[in-house]
Amino acid sequence: MKVNDKEIQWLKSYFPNLQYEVKTKKIVGELDFCAYYDKASKKLITGNGDEDRERNTFIRDVFEIEIRLDSIDSNGWPKVYEIGGRYRKIAQRCKVKIIDLHIFSYDGACCLGIKCTPERNFGIKWFIEELVIPFFYRLSYTEKFGITAARNDLWGEYSHGEKGQIEYIKEIFNIYKLDLGRNDLCPCGSGKKYKKCHLNEVEYMKRQGLGSL
């Protein structure tokens, strides 16, 4: 992932404790976020107002992280790590394996999500807001309410590894078969418009001629 000056300025403005290292192509430091999960719309919403803090799903937290922009995982995302060792304490407290927190035991990288398209144009702002913060919000939610609550209360999750990839492709195929407009709500249940959710994946499936599978 390439980083331009505008993105670096955005990072400094909104996350001053995260530093972009030019030589190593890493973003390292403290990720400080405030967010709550709105169960009605199934959206994670950032905010720090009085009304936000009164919600039982409101969380303000800080994680020590490292984003390796030149190291891409199997799903096409830059690799992200929780480097403070907190995820291990959460796993011990919840009596679960590290992989159940969606962190790979072999290298400690976070599993941010699955996509079937081989490439996607995205920047630092989109990546942090749409993938990194939701991941660490969920990790914090698990620490606060337990693994069962996280699975029941938050957005759904796929199985680990290859099985999860197959589940995701099946979901895309089912969406593919529907006649959806760009501004329709995506049937995956994210609460987002189709054009801002699974449209790119479905279009890729069409280009690859996978609709007859």
- Position 28 scores a pLDDT of 97
Stretches in the chain below the pLDDT threshold 50: 213
In angstroms, the Cα distances linking 26 to 19, 64, 69, 164 are: 8, 13, 6, 28
- Position 173 scores a pLDDT of 78
Mean of per-residue pLDDT scores for the chain = 84
- Position 116 scores a pLDDT of 54
- Position 152 scores a pLDDT of 83
CB 192 within 8 A of CB 96: no
The separation between the first and the last C-alpha atoms of the chain, rounded to the nearest angstrom, is 32
Q: How far is the C-alpha of 25 from the C-alpha of 182, rounded, in Å?
A: 35
- Position 35 scores a pLDDT of 93
- Position 155 scores a pLDDT of 64
- Position 158 scores a pLDDT of 65
